[in-house]
Structure 1
Amino acid sequence: MLFTYLLIIAIIIASTGWILLGRKKNVTVFPGPKPFPVIGNILEFIKRSEIIPKCVNFMVEFGDIYKLQLGPTLMIIVCDPNLIEKLLTTQQFNAKSQMYDFLRNWLGMGLLTSSGEKWQRHRKIITPSFHFQILEKFVVTFDRKSLILVEKLKKHSNQADFDISPYIYNCTLDIICETAMGISMNIQEDSTSAYVKATNIMSNTILNRVLSPLKQFDVLYRYTSDYLLEMKCLNTLHTTTENVIHKRKAIIGENVDSLEGNKVAFLDMLFNKGLSFNDIKNEVDTFMFEGHDTTGVALSFIVYCLSKNPDIQDKVFEEQQQIYENDPNIDLTYNILQSMNYLEKVIKEAMRLYPSVPFFGRAVCKDFEYNDFIIKKGSSANIFAFGLHRNPKYFPDPEKFDPDRFSPENCRKRPPYVYIPFSAGSRNCIGQKFAMLEMKTTISRLIWNYKFLPCPGFKPDLVPAIILKSLNGVRVKLVNRE
C-alpha cells in the first residue's frame, strides 16, 4: 500500500512538473512572485490569514495583473477594471474556473457552478423569482426574523463584547428558508445550527484543496482527513436541503400548475418547470449556501464598520429616526426600505472594504490577448475584488470608511467595473436586490434598538474561504438605545 501511495505521488509530481514546464514559455510575460518547482507559490500562503494581505501586496508590487502558481494550477490574478469588464461581459469567459470543481460534491451543477445551456436555462427559470413584486412580500419575513434577532441579542446588551456573527448567520439562514424555500425552520431558536457549522467547515476544506498541490487531484484527496470531514458535512448539508424540498412539496401537494402565475418562491418555480429532483436539489443547495452565507458575512462586517465609526453610525440612526418617527412598532415596507438612502451607502461602503466574495474565477477556454499579455487557454482568470476595492487609484484613502464614496456624483467619476461586490455581467448575483433589502431591514432593526461599540484591540483575521471569513469572528459590544 505504501508503495502505491509513493508511486501515485511520484506520478503527480512528474505530471505537475511537466505542466509547469509546458506552461512556462506561455506565461513569462506575466509578472508575479517567483514559484518553486512543483509547489509553485503555495509556501507564500502557509498561514491562511496572510493570503489576502499578500495578494494585495503583490498587486502593489507587480501591478493590476499578475500570476500565481498554486501547484499545477496557474492563476492570473486580475485587478484591472478594463480586463474585468471583458471577463465578466464576454461570452467566452462565461464558464467558472476549475477551482469551482471543488464545490461540485456539495452544489452539483447548480447556478453557481454550471455553464452553457444548462446555466442559461436555469437562470431564466429562476430570475422571475426575484421580481420586485415578490420581494415586496418577502419584506414582512425579513422584518419578523430581524426582530427575532433583536430579541436573541438582548442577553448581550450592556455586557462584554462578543462575536455577533453566529447570531446573524442563523438569522439569514432562517430568512432564506422561509422566503426562497417557503419553509419555516425556526433556525434562530437553535443557537448551534448544524447547517451553519457544516458550511463553515466545507469552506475551510475547499480552501485547503486550493492551497495543496496534492489535494487538487481527486485521486489523492480521497485519502485525506479533509475528504472524510467533507463527506460528514455533506451528509448534514444535503439532508437539510432534501428535507426542505420534501416539506415544501408536502405543503403545496401536487398542485404546482398554478404557482407560476402567483410568482411564488423560487423553489416553487423549480417544481413547475419539470426539473429532475437532482437538478432541484443542486439549486436548493446553492441558494441555501449563497443566500445565507454571503449576506451573513456582509451584515457582520456592516455592524463591525459601524462600531468603529460612531459618527457614521449616528447618521444612520438619524435617518432611522426620521422613518420610525419614534414608533418602534412601525411595519417596514418595500417603499420605506427604498427610502433609506444613507443606509444603502453605508452598506455599499462596508461591502467595498469587505466584499463577501473576495475572489471569483473564470475559465480561459481559448487564448486571449489583452494589451501586451496573452492569457493562455487552460489558465484561470481570478478577479480579486478585495484588492480592486482597496486600490487607491479608484478609492483614495482606501482604508477609510466613507459612505459618501457612493453618492451619485462620486459614482459617476469611477470606471464602472471597479466596484463589483455582487459580480457583474450575465453571471452577476441573481439575488442582489433580495440581499440589499434583507440587509437594510436587519440593520434598521438592530440600530434602532442598539448602539454598536468596538471591541478594544479587535481586528478581523480575514481568510478567503470561498466566502470572506474572519477566523476570530466579528466582535462588538451592544448598548441599549434609550
Structure 2
Amino acid sequence: MSAISLTILGIVAFSLWIYFLWSRRRFYKIAWQLPGPPSLPLIGMGLNMMNPETLLPYLEKISEKYKTPFISWMGINCVLYVNDPNTMEKVFNSPHCTNKGDFYRFMSSAIGDGLFTSSSPRWNKHRRLINPAFSRQILDNFLPIFNTEANVLLKKFGTEGQDGKVKLEIYEMLKKSVLEAACQTTMGKKMDFHNDGSAVIFESYNILTEVCARRMLSPWLYPDILYQYSSLYLKQKKVVNVLFGFIENLLSDLMTTQDKSADEPANTDNNDNDIFVKRKQKEIFIEQMRNNVNQGQFTWKDVRDEANVTIAATFETTSTALYIVCLCLAMHPESQEKLYAELVEIFPDNSDTNNIYHEVTSEHLQRMTYTETVINEAMRLFAPVPVVIRRAMADFELPNGVVIPKGTQIVMDIFNMQRNKDIWGSEAHSYRPDLHFGPDAQLKSHPFAFVPFTKGVRMCIGYRYALMLMKVVLAKIFRNYRLQTDAKIKDINVKCTISLKLHKYPLCTATKR
C-alpha cells in the first residue's frame, strides 16, 4: 500500500474518531459535572465490575468515595450511578426513564423480550394487555393453590426434618413450592415438582441469570460476534434449550387446543372446552394470552416470550425473598416469636393435628401486619433485585439541577441504598423489623428509600402476587414450626446476578410447635 493511501486512511480514521468524540460531547460534559471513578478507554469500569460476587461491595465502596449521583463508564456507555432516594424518585417517576437499560438486551436475546426487558412502545402495549391477569380479584383466586403448595411444603418439613433432628435445605424446598405455584397460577398446569426431578430447571435458571449478568459486566463481550465465541455463550445456548423446552411443554396443551379451535366448530359438550371455560373464568395469565392471540394482539412468539419471562421472574425473585425471610427469622428468635404470637391470634386453634393446615384467606392476609413487617425488613437488607438499569429516552433534569442527556444508562443501586446508614441509621445492616418498619418506627424514611419492587410507572407487575404467596407460606411455616440456624447476618455473602443470589444457602432445623 502506497504512502498516499496510508495517509488517506489515517486521515479518514482520525476524522471518524473526532466525529465519534464530538457526537458524544454531551456525555463528556455531564461526566465533568458529576465526576466519578476513573475508567479505562473502551472498557470503562469493566475490570473492576466483572465479578458478580464482588460487584455490590465494590459499588458500596465507590459510593462512599464519590458524591452520588456520579458518572462513570461501562464499555463506551455513559452510566449515571444512583443510590439516593431523591434521585430514585425522579427516575422512577419520569416518563423519560421507563425503558430498561441497553444491557438488558443480553437477557432478552436469551429468553425472549417479555415485560421485564422490553421497551416502549412494545412494553406499554404488553403491560396494558397483561395487567388484568394480576388484578386483586384474580389473585384472590390463587389462594387455594398457594395454600395447597404450602401444605405440601409443611409435610416435607415434617417427614424430612424429623422434628429438628435433621438440617433442611429450605431454599431447595421453597424453590419447588414457588415454581409449582407459578406454573399453576400463570399457566394453569400442575407439574408436581415436589416429587419429580426439577433440578435441571432450577440449575438452568440459575446459570442463565449468572451468564447474562457476567456479560453485562464484561464490555469486551458486548459485540455479538465476539460473544458467540465465548464459553458463556455455550453455557447460555445449553440452558436456553432446556428452558425453551420447559416452556413449550407448559404451552403445548393450550397451543394444541388453539390449533384445533381454528379448524373445528365450537362444541359446548366438549370436555376440553369445559376445562378451558372454567380456567377462563379465572382469567389466569395464559388464558388472557390466548385471548390476545385470538384477537390478533399477540403472536405465539409473544406468548412464549412473556411466559418465559413471567415464570423466570416469579420463581427467581419470590423463592429467594421467601428463603431470606425464613433465614432472617431463624437467626432472630425474638422476631420469630413475635410473628408466632400474631399467627396464633389469627389462627388460634392448633390442638388438632388436622388444623396444621389452616386455610389462609384474604381476610387473614389483611390482618397479618407483623408478617408484612418481617418481610419488608428482610427485603430491605437483601433486595430481591439489587440493581435496576434504565435508559434516558430524552434529556431530563436531576434534583440537583444537572440535565442528563438522552441515551444515558442509569444504574440504580437499590441494594446499597436500602443499607445506607445515612438513611436507615446506625443499625442499617442489622435485622430490626420494628425499628425500621414497625408502627412506632423511630426512623421515617423517604418513600423511595425502600423499593424492593421498584416504584413509579414501571413498578413490578407481580408485587401483589409475590406478597400474597409469601404471606401464605410464612403463615403456614411459622404457625407450625420453629426454625433455627447457626448462620449470622454478618456471614451472609451475596452476589448480583440480575436477581439476588447467596454464595451459600445456610441450612435450618424445623421443630414442631
Q: Report the TM-score, using the length of structure 1 for normalisation.
A: 0.90
Partner of residue 152 from structure 2, selected from 148, 153, 168: 148
Query: Counterpart of 1:393 in 2: which secondary structure?
Result: helix
1:415-447 alpha-carbon deviations (Å, 9 max, x no partner): 221111111112111111111010011111122
Question: Quick one: distance in 2 between partners of 1:162 and 1:73?
Answer: 45
Identity of aligned residues (%): 28
Q: How much has 1:258 moved relative to structure 2?
A: 6.0
Q: Paired residue for 2:186?
A: 180
Question: Quick one: distance in 2 between partners of 1:360 and 1:411?
Answer: 29
Partner of residue 375 from structure 2, selected from 331, 347, 351: 347
Correspondence 1:31-430 to 2 at 5 A: 31-153=35-157, 154-157=159-162, 158-159=164-165, 161-190=167-196, 192-249=198-255, 254=261, 262-274=281-293, 275-325=298-348, 326=350, 327-370=355-398, 371-396=400-425, 397-404=427-434, 405-408=436-439, 410=441, 413-430=444-461
Query: Counterpart of 1:475 in 2: which secondary structure?
Result: coil
1:71-92 alpha-carbon deviations (Å, 9 max, x no partner): 2333211112222122111111
How many residues align? The count is: 468
Question: Quick one: distance in 2 between partners of 1:350 and 1:138?
Answer: 24
> Structure 1 residue 460 and structure 2 residue 492: aligned?
yes
Q: Which moved more, 1:363-372 or 1:118-127?
A: 363-372
Q: Is the 8 A contact 2:182 2:315 kept in 1?
A: yes
Q: Is the 8 A contact 2:35 2:72 kept in 1?
A: no
Question: Quick one: distance in 1 between partners of 2:340 and 2:239?
Answer: 40
Larger radius of gyration: 2
Q: Which letter does structure 2 place at the counterpart of 1:247?
A: D
Over aligned residue pairs, what C-alpha RMSD do you find?
2.6
Q: How much has 1:332 moved relative to structure 2?
A: 1.3
Question: Quick one: distance in 1 between partners of 2:45 and 2:21?
Answer: 15
Q: Does the C-alpha gap of structure 1 residues 283 and 411 become closer, same or farther in structure 2, counting only changes over 3 Å? A: farther
Q: Does the C-alpha gap of structure 1 residues 467 and 249 become closer, same or farther in structure 2, counting only changes over 3 Å? A: same
Q: Is the 8 A contact 1:295 1:435 kept in 2?
A: yes
Q: Which letter does structure 1 place at the counterpart of 2:284?
A: A
Q: Is the 8 A contact 2:31 2:72 kept in 1?
A: no
Partner of residue 451 from structure 1, selected from 482, 487, 493: 482
Q: Does the C-alpha gap of structure 1 residues 67 and 159 become closer, same or farther in structure 2, counting only changes over 3 Å? A: farther
1:295-343 alpha-carbon deviations (Å, 9 max, x no partner): 0110111011111111001111111112222132321112112211111
Q: Is the 8 A contact 2:221 2:227 kept in 1?
A: yes
Question: Quick one: distance in 1 between partners of 2:175 and 2:257?
Answer: 26
Query: Counterpart of 1:419 in 2: which secondary structure?
Result: coil
Q: Which letter does structure 2 place at the counterpart of 1:310?
A: P
Q: Which letter does structure 2 place at the counterpart of 1:272?
A: N
1:184-241 alpha-carbon deviations (Å, 9 max, x no partner): 0111223543221111001111111112121111111011111111011111111111
1:337-383 alpha-carbon deviations (Å, 9 max, x no partner): 22111111100111111111011111112333322533232221011
Question: Quick one: distance in 2 between partners of 1:329 and 1:439?
Answer: 16
Q: Does the C-alpha gap of structure 1 residues 141 and 44 become closer, same or farther in structure 2, counting only changes over 3 Å? A: same
Query: Counterpart of 1:180 in 2: which secondary structure?
Result: helix
Query: Counterpart of 1:242 in 2: which secondary structure?
Result: helix
Query: Counterpart of 1:415 in 2: which secondary structure?
Result: coil
Query: Counterpart of 2:71 in 1: which secondary structure?
Result: strand
Q: Does the C-alpha gap of structure 1 residues 19 and 331 become closer, same or farther in structure 2, counting only changes over 3 Å? A: farther
Question: Quick one: distance in 2 between partners of 1:411 and 1:290?
Answer: 34
Q: How much has 1:409 moved relative to structure 2?
A: 6.0
Q: Which letter does structure 1 place at the counterpart of 2:501?
A: K
Q: How much has 1:279 moved relative to structure 2?
A: 0.6
Q: Which letter does structure 2 place at the counterpart of 1:184?
A: K
Q: Is the 8 A contact 1:51 1:464 kept in 2?
A: yes
Query: Counterpart of 2:357 in 1: which secondary structure?
Result: coil
Query: Counterpart of 1:468 in 2: which secondary structure?
Result: strand
Q: Report the TM-score, using the length of structure 2 for normalisation.
A: 0.85
Question: Quick one: distance in 2 between partners of 1:378 and 1:478?
Answer: 50
Q: How much has 1:46 moved relative to structure 2?
A: 4.9
Q: Is the 8 A contact 1:172 1:292 kept in 2?
A: yes
Q: Which moved more, 1:270-279 or 1:29-38?
A: 29-38
